[in-house]
Amino acid sequence: MLQKPFVVANWKMNHGVKHSVEAAADIVVGLKQIPFTGGVVVCPVDTALMAVQTIVEESPVALGAQDVSWEDTGSFTGEIAPWMLREVGVDYVIVGHSERRKYLNETDEMVNKKTKNALEEGITPIVCVGESFEQRQEGEQEHVVMRQVQKALDGISLGPAHSILFAYEPIWAIGTGQAIDAEEANHMHSVINQILIDHFPDQVVKENTTILYGGSADEKNTPGFLEKQHINGFLVGTASIKSQQFVEVIKAVHNAT
- Indicate whether 247 belongs to the interface with ligand PGA (CB under 6 A): no
Nearer to ligand PGA, 191 or 219 (CB): 219
Nearer to ligand PGA, 123 or 180 (CB): 180
Q: How far apart are CA 19 and CA 107, in angstroms?
A: 31
Kindly determine how many residues on this chain lie close enough to bind ligand PGA according to the rule CB under 6 A.
13
Tally Cβ neighbours within 10 Å of residue 169.
29
Among 236, 247, 250, 253, binds ligand PGA (CB under 6 A): 236
Which residues, numbered 198-227, are part of the site for ligand PGA (CB under 6 A)?
Answer: 214-217
Q: Which is nearer to ligand PGA, 119 or 239 (CB)?
A: 239
Which of the residues 153 through 192 are near ligand PGA (CB under 6 A)? 169, 174-175
Cα dihedral 227, 233, 235, 237 in deg (nearest 10)? 60
Look up 19 and say whether it is catalytic. no
Q: Judge contact between 98 and 168, C-beta under 8 A.
A: no
* Smallest gap from residue 173 Cβ to ligand PGA (A): 6
Inter-axis angle of helices 141-152 and 108-120, nearest 10: 40
Per annotation, catalytic residue among 99, 106, 131, 169: 169
Q: Quote the CA–CA distance of 51 and 53 in Å, as a whole number.
A: 5
Shortest Cβ distance from residue 104 to ligand PGA (Å)?
Answer: 14
135 is an interface residue for ligand PGA by CB under 6 A? no
Residue 212 DSSP symbol? E
Distance between CA 126 and CA 64 in Å, rounded? 9
Question: Which residue from 108, 104, 118 is spatially nearest to 72, judged by alpha carbons?
Answer: 118
CB atoms within 10 A of CB 256: 13
Is 187 assigned a catalytic role? Answer: no
106 binds ligand PGA (CB under 6 A): no
* x/- map, 4-43, ligand PGA, by CB under 6 A: ------x---------------------------------
